[in-house]
Amino acid sequence: MTLRLRVVAALAFVALAGVTGAWLFQGDGTAGGGASQPGDARFRWTNSEQCRDCHRAVWDEWQGSHHQISYLNPEVRKLSDDFRNKECQACHLPQPIDVTGFGQRALPRLTRPDQGVDCITCHVGRSGEVFAAHDVPTAPCRPRTDPRFVSMSLCESCHNQHQTTDQWRASPSAKQDVDCNDCHMPDVERSLAGGVVRKGRGHGYPGAHDAAMLGKASEFDARIEGGELVAVLANTGAGHNFPTEERHRAVDVVWRAIDAQGQAGEWSRAFRFRQPYREEPGENTQLPAGERKELRVALPPGTVKVGVRLWYRLNPYAVDGDAASTLLAEREVIVP
C-alpha cells in the first residue's frame, strides 16, 4: 500500500474502533445523552474541537505542530509499522495524562487520530476539570491552576523515554528556573475580535523541525592553531543534550582543506554528536547543556584555507543538502 492509502486505512480502522470503544475519553464529545453545553452536569470535555471555537488562535498554533500530527506523521507510521506495534501508540495518540497521573506513561486512545497530542491530553483532568496556569472561575471552561500541570512532569510523561527531562533537570537552565515551556512555548500576542490583543503562550512547540529553534541551540567557532584545525561547539541554548531525544538525530562537524590553487578536498567528518541505536556499537556523544567540545584535526601539508560546517541531521543517513539536513553554521579559516 502507498503511504497515503495506509493513512486512510488507519483512519478507517480508528474511526471504526471509536464507534466500538466506549470507555472514558474515547467519545467524540457529542455522545453521552446530548448534554453538550459546558456547565451542564453531564457535559464532558472529550474532543479538542470543543475548545476550538472559543480558543481559535491557540487551535491554529497547535494545528500542524508535531503534537497535532503525532499519529499521522509518516515518519512515525513507517517505523511503527503503521502502529501495528502497539507500544508506539501511548505517547503518539494518548488519553489525558492525568488518567494515569503526571509523570506516568499515558494510556493509548483509539479515537481522533488527527488530534494526536491534543488539548484534552494536556489540559483535562480525570474528574473532567480544565487545568491552567491561572484560575479563571468566570470562564465557561472554568480553568483552574494545578501545580502538576505547570511542573515539567506534564512533559516527562512522554519526553523522558530518552532522558530529555532528566537532562534538563541536571542543566544550567533548570538551576536558573528556565523550564521546558520558557523555551518551547514562547510568549505570543494574539489578535482577538474587536482589535483586542491578548498575551499568551505559543502552542506550536518548535523543536528539531524548526530551523530558528535549531539555530538557538549552540555556538560554533573554528580557528587554526599549531597547524591544526580547532573547532569548538558549545551547547548554550538547549536546556538538555544537543541533539536530544530520538536516537536518529545527529549533529556533524565536517571540514575540507583548500590548497594554494583554490582546489578544495572532499568534505570529511571531524565528529558526530549522537546517541547510537541500541544495536549499534559506540557511546552517547550528545553534548550536554552548558558543555563545550573542542575538536582538533591535523591538516594536510599545503593547506592554505579550511572550510568548516556544522550540520543538524534528523536521521543519521541524511546527507548534506537534503531535506533532513539543516546547515547551522559555516566558517572559512585561513591558515596563517
Can you tell me which of 1, 34, 41, 87 binds ligand HEC, judged by CB under 6 A? 87
Question: Which CB, 166 or 228, lies closer to ligand HEC?
Answer: 166
Question: Which CB, 39 or 262, lies closer to ligand HEC?
Answer: 39
| Cα separation, 32 vs 29, whole angstroms | 8
Among 95, 99, 85, residue whose Cα is nearest residue 117: 95
Binding to ligand HEC by residue 66, rule CB under 6 A? yes
Can you tell me which of 14, 18, 25, 76 binds ligand HEC, judged by CB under 6 A? 76
| Cα separation, 92 vs 85, whole angstroms | 12
Binding to ligand HEC by residue 311, rule CB under 6 A? no
Binding to ligand HEC by residue 73, rule CB under 6 A? yes
| Cα separation, 249 vs 231, whole angstroms | 20
Binding to ligand HEC by residue 11, rule CB under 6 A? no
Binding to ligand HEC by residue 112, rule CB under 6 A? no
Distances (CA, A) of 111 to 4, 18, 24, 65, 182: 19, 5, 11, 19, 31
Can you tell me which of 140, 186, 227, 282 binds ligand HEC, judged by CB under 6 A? 140
Which of 38-44's residues contact partners 24+ apart within 8 Å by CB, and which partners? Answer: 38/140, 38/141, 38/142, 39/140, 44/128
Q: Angle 294-298-299 (CA atoms, 0-180°, nearest 5)?
A: 120
Can you tell me which of 168, 255, 273, 311 binds ligand HEC, judged by CB under 6 A? 168
Binding to ligand HEC by residue 254, rule CB under 6 A? no
Q: Using CB under 6 A, which residues numbered 178 to 217 contact ligand HEC?
A: 178-185, 200-201, 203, 205, 207-209, 213-214, 216-217
Can you tell me which of 14, 155, 258, 306 binds ligand HEC, judged by CB under 6 A? 155
Binding to ligand HEC by residue 299, rule CB under 6 A? no
Binding to ligand HEC by residue 134, rule CB under 6 A? yes
**Is residue 94 reached through a cis peptide bond, with omega within 30 degrees of 0 on the bond before it?**
no
Residues that contact ligand HEC, how many (by CB under 6 A):
87
Q: Using CB under 6 A, which residues numbered 23 to 52 contact ligand HEC?
A: 38, 45, 48, 50-51
Binding to ligand HEC by residue 117, rule CB under 6 A? yes
Residues with Cβ within 8 Å of 158's Cβ and at least 6 positions away in sequence, in order, are: 91, 94, 105, 106, 117
Binding to ligand HEC by residue 80, rule CB under 6 A? yes
Binding to ligand HEC by residue 288, rule CB under 6 A? no
| Cα separation, 82 vs 75, whole angstroms | 10
Question: Which CB, 168 or 255, lies closer to ligand HEC?
Answer: 168
In terms of residues, how long is the chain?
A: 336
| Cα separation, 318 vs 326, whole angstroms | 10
Binding to ligand HEC by residue 95, rule CB under 6 A? no
Binding to ligand HEC by residue 240, rule CB under 6 A? yes
